[in-house]
């Protein structure tokens, strides 16, 4: 009888410890894959000038695995990516071992209102992100594609009030994910008020200011907003533009949304691909999200209209994509 009681207590202790560990350690992520084809304009393999989802036919996105530990005061996040989308996201990594690291940082909750983070973390600028699970549209905007993807440095997050926050950061020059080539640093700041964010990045090579926000206009209608201006130092080219993201939930499992974006090169920035200074593009993307458990099916129609012949002799390109995104 004593052996049975001891075994029961031991099993109960292990179960409790396992449950406590589950609260501290997390493992999550996603996989995504897609089909993309052109309807008119360009050639078979011509794609919009924005990042990701640019391959013709059936193609792969990436596998994203995120391990995290959350303690009472300290924790870490190790965010790994593998596949074409992941390779594009970490394009400037130095070696093979770091080319799969999307984010890698540790943090310290100094108090209830102050948090310090050091390492490599995704950018605080812009409406869209690298992971397809957090974006409504599967293809990405020009504003996201040509703003920074990630930063490496140290940042401090301050809770100013119930609906306000402030972030200050010192980082390596933009896109230098695990090294500093010349001893210069970038400065970042973000002010958040009631879900609206004003972001500033002062880099050795450029200055960028960005507004990201959105409003719930009703229980089923959301409007997202992004606007940014990037100015290169010493006369270098930059960009500016704005995008609106109206989204409507028609049921618990289906949403439909539109992204309308106007993007302009300030000089010969090269983002649109025309090679002509001060080129512009207006891109309209109609996207559906159909959710089946952890799987989201994303059909998408996209029309890019440029001021110059950006698409192999054509000024416009219309395309269709069908993506599958599974999150775990």
Q: Does pLDDT of 1 surpass 80?
A: no
115 pLDDT tier (thresholds 50, 70, 90): very high
* Digit-coded pLDDT (tens) for 118-127: 999 999 999 9
pLDDT at 254 over 80: yes
Sign (positive or negative) of CA dihedral 199, 285, 279, 92: positive
Quick check: 6 pLDDT over 50? no
Mean pLDDT of 42-57: 95
Which pLDDT value is given to residue 102? Answer: 95
pLDDT (0 to 100) of residue 181: 82
Distance CA 229, CA 208 (A): 6
Full set of structural domains in the chain with CATH: 25-327 (2.40.160.10)
User: Residue 137: which of 30, 308, 296, 328 has the closest Cα?
Assistant: 296
| pLDDT score for 10 | 46
* Least confident window among 94-103, 111-120, 147-156, 238-247: 94-103
| Residue 277: band (very low, low, confident or very high) from pLDDT cuts 50, 70, 90 | confident
Whole-number Å distance between alpha carbons of 35 and 274: 26
- Tell me which residue of 190, 158, 192, 145 sits closest to 171, measured CA to CA: 190
- Given this model, what pLDDT does residue 11 score? 43
| Strand blocks (E) in the chain | 25-40, 57-70, 74-82, 101-111, 114-122, 150-161, 164-171, 186-193, 196-202, 206-216, 221-232, 238-249, 254-266, 280-292, 295-306, 316-327
CA atoms of 18 and 188, how far apart (whole Å)? 40
User: What CA–CA distances, in Å, run from 325 to 21, 34, 68, 249, 254?
Assistant: 28, 9, 21, 18, 14
Percent of the chain with pLDDT over 70: 91
193 pLDDT more than 60: yes
Tell me, what DSSP letter sits at residue 15? H
Res 308: pLDDT: 93
Could you tell me if 176 and 184 are in contact, meaning their C-beta atoms sit under 8 angstroms apart?
no
pLDDT at 170 over 80: yes
For residues 252-274, give the mean pLDDT.
Answer: 90
178, 180, 186, 190 alpha-carbon torsion, rounded to 10°? 10
Q: What's the pLDDT at 95?
A: 60
Closest by CA position to 105, among listed 28, 177, 210, 203: 177
Q: Tell me: pLDDT of 5 over 50.
A: no
Q: What is the mean pLDDT of the chain?
A: 91
Residue 17 has pLDDT above 60, yes or no: no
For the segment 100-110, the average pLDDT, to the nearest whole number, is 96
Rounded Cα distance, 237 and 290, in Å: 40
Output the DSSP codes for 54-89: --SEEEEEEEEEEEEEE-SSEEEEEEEEESHHHHHH
Reduced to 3 states, what is the DSSP secondary structure of residue 9? helix
The candidate with the shortest Cα–Cα distance to 230, out of 264, 180, 276, 187, is 264
3-state secondary structure of 6: helix
> Which pLDDT value is given to residue 179?
83
DSSP letter at 13?
A: H
């Amino acid at each position: 009888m004593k052996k049975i009681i001891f075994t029961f207590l031991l099993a109960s202790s292990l179960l409790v410890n396992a449950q406590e560990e589950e609260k501290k350690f997390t493992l999550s992520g996603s996989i995504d894959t897609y089909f993309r084809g052109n309807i008119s304009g360009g050639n078979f393999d011509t794609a919009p000038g924005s990042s990701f989802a640019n391959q013709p036919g059936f193609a792969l996105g990436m596998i994203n695995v995120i391990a995290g530990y959350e303690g009472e005061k300290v924790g870490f996040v190790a965010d790994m990516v593998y596949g074409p989308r992941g390779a594009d996201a970490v394009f400037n990594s130095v070696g093979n071992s770091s080319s799969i690291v999307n984010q890698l940082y540790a943090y310290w909750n100094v108090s209830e209102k102050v948090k310090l983070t050091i390492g490599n973390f995704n950018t605080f600028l812009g409406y869209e992100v690298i992971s397809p699970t957090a974006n409504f549209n599967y293809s990405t905007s020009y504003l996201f594609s040509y703003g920074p993807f990630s930063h490496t440095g140290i940042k401090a997050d301050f809770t100013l009030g119930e609906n306000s926050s402030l972030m200050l950061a010192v980082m390596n020059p933009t896109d230098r994910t695990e090294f500093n080539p010349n001893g210069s640093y970038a400065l970042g700041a973000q002010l958040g008020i009631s879900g609206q964010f004003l972001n500033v990045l002062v880099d050795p090579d450029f200055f960028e200011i960005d507004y990201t926000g959105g409003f719930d206009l009703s229980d089923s209608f959301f409007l997202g907003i992004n606007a940014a201006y990037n100015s290169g130092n010493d006369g270098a080219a930059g960009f500016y533009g704005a995008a609106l993201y109206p989204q409507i939930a028609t049921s618990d499992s289906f949403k439909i949304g539109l992204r309308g974006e106007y993007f302009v090169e300030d000089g010969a920035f090269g983002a649109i691909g025309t090679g002509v200074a001060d080129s512009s593009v207006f891109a309209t993307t109609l996207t559906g999200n159909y959710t089946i458990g952890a799987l989201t099916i994303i059909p998408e129609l996209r029309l890019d209209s440029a001021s110059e012949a950006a698409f192999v002799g054509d000024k416009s390109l219309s395309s269709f994509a069908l993506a599958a995104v599974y999150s775990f």
